[in-house]
Amino acid sequence: MDGDAFAFHDLAPTEENFREAVLGGLAREPKALPCKLFYDAQGSKLFDAICQVPEYYLTRTEIGILERHAGDIAGRIGPHARLIELGSGASIKVRILLQALENPVAYVPVDISRDHLRDAAALLAADFPELAVVAVCADYTRPFTLPPLPGPVGKRVGFFPGSTIGNFEPDGVVAFLEHCGRLLGPGGEMIVGADLKKDPAILNAAYNDAAGTNAAFNLNLLGRINRELGGDIDLDRFAHVATYNEVAGRVELYVRSLADQVIGAAGQRFRLSAGELIHTENSYKYSIPHFHELAARAGFRPIETWTGPAHLFSVHYLRRG
């Protein structure tokens, strides 16, 4: 592999940012921890495992949509594109687009999990030796500056797959897409995956798989507090909770305290009662018109929307302006 084909830029939040988020979240009433804290190296591996469980339809459904429509998507993007993936994880889905694109010049994976990002980006760079891979370790939900990108001038296209857009509150979706618009610049385009509203039984099964992988992922956040902040949390005294709130249109994730207890993190103590919940994530499910409305508020026009045969999931092609 050409030594210039892979670059790594570390803009990741510091341990102090993690400490402040944890202590602030545990001091709140009700207690809540931001879902972006899930993704240390262990959390990222557990999420990759979730994507393989039978009940979790989201990943395989979106991959099917991308495979069926890769030619259409590549045609809209055109040659010499710079593809910027926010929350790139293992960089699996982007391979479908990279293989379909005409002479893409750069791929920019952006993720908060440093080691997971470095490994995934290096592997992709080895598999696409003609492609410049410029990895950026950053909290992609906050403003950051893209490094200089090599190659001839081409379109900047944002790629935001999965159902991560559902982790934002609806007004937060607008703010995030506005942030993406600034990052991509005039004429920027985006490919966004958004989960759709459906039978609550399907949703509840997806987030409560029989093998307990979702539970391990959720509880790993407490384990991360132990590892990085000197916590003394007994994970066996907590349980994973995931339920669909049909009124709000979202799956809600919590960890529930199974006893009256006091936990420690970063030298501070926090009291929990039996049954008390710590909120860890929301995952909103959308109708297509509602998602288009939010995108329009952020300055993006919906150009095309694809769904699978069972109408479980949607992939949207958006254009700024």
| Residue-wise pLDDT tens digits, 274-313 | 999 999 999 999 999 999 999 999 999 999 999 988 999 9
The full DSSP string for 93-160 is THHHHHHHSSS--EEEEEES-HHHHHHHHHHHHHH-TTSEEEEEES-TTS---PPP--SS---EEEEE
Strand partners, 22: none
Counting residues of the chain whose pLDDT is more than 70, the rounded percentage is 97
Distance CA 316, CA 303 (A): 8
Question: Is 15's pLDDT higher than 80?
Answer: no
| Residue-wise pLDDT tens digits, 71-125 | 999 999 999 999 999 999 999 999 999 999 999 999 999 998 899 999 999 999 9
Structural tokens at position 202: 């399907």
Question: Is 150's pLDDT higher than 90?
Answer: no
| Residue-wise pLDDT tens digits, 164-204 | 999 999 999 999 999 999 999 888 999 999 999 999 999 99
Which range (150-154, 206-210, 257-261, 289-293) has the least confidence? Answer: 150-154
Q: Residue 4 — pLDDT band, cuts 50, 70, 90?
A: low
Supply φ then ψ for residue 235, to 5 degrees: -65, -25
* Unique residue bearing structure tokens 């509203």: 197
The SS3 assignment for 188 reads coil
Distance CA 103, CA 118 (A): 23
